[in-house]
Chains A and B, each alone.
Chain A
Amino acid sequence: RKEVEQDPGPFNVPEGATVAFNCTYSNSASQSFFWYRQDCRKEPKLLMSVYSSGNEDGRFTAQLNRASQYISLLIRDSKLSDSATYLCVVNPRGDMRFGAGTRLTVKP
């Protein structure tokens, strides 16, 4: 079983839609969690950290469920500029592990 698993998508949504991504992880000792965004042929960039109590940054909300070992990302009011691949990252032992990424395309 992979350390970190994501639904690869693709997700194709209209502008203004709400979309949610989930990511499951296998190591219950994992302590830190992140969501990254990657545009085509570019390096990944930090979107947001994920905190135990959940956290929000504008249109983006991240949640952590330790009992079920998953993290989620909710994007509200999708914009064309949100089109990208979203990567979840889990830190099981000081070595950051990435999910394979979920491709999102927002259409006019």
Chain B
Amino acid sequence: DAGITQSPRHKVTETGTPVTLRCHQTENHRYMYWYRQDPGHGLRLIHYSYGVKDTDKGEVSDGYSVSRSKTEDFLLTLESATSSQTSVYFCASSGTGDSPLHFGNGTRLTVT
């Protein structure tokens, strides 16, 4: 499996505070993705990256920003957290745009 780690694993934060989630991969994969998973919705794509400094929006990008300054790191930022952003966040990576995704263990975020 690809070496992909997410940090933190759990976080509780208050409404209105900024939050950054980190994804780190050691496989030199070009593509990286951020998803959120909520009951009844499955995994929904927030943002993805197809190279350093190359990112694009997914289907639920409002309220989120990302940055990819190095191949191995993909950061997801909630500029001002809201309760609707309480979710489990998964990062994934793949070598090409067509190859299978390898996932991190997830980050459980609670916004109170």
Whether A associates with B in a native complex is yes
Docked-complex contact B40 and A96, CB < 8 angstroms = no
B55 CB to closest chain A CB, in angstroms? Answer: 11
Measured between alpha carbons, how far is A100 from B35 in the docked complex, in Å?
Answer: 13
Q: Which B residues lie within 8 Å of A43 (CB)?
A: 90, 103-106
The chain B residue with its CB closest to the CB of A8 is B40
- Count contacts on A: residues with CB < 8 A to the other chain: 22
The contact sample of 27 A-B pairs, CB cut-off 8 A, is A3-B59, A31-B98, A32-B99, A34-B100, A34-B101, A42-B105, A42-B106, A44-B43, A44-B90, A44-B101, A44-B103, A46-B101, A46-B102, A94-B31, A94-B97, A94-B98, A95-B33, A95-B48, A95-B56, A95-B58, A96-B92, A96-B94, A98-B35, A98-B43, A99-B42, A100-B40, A100-B42
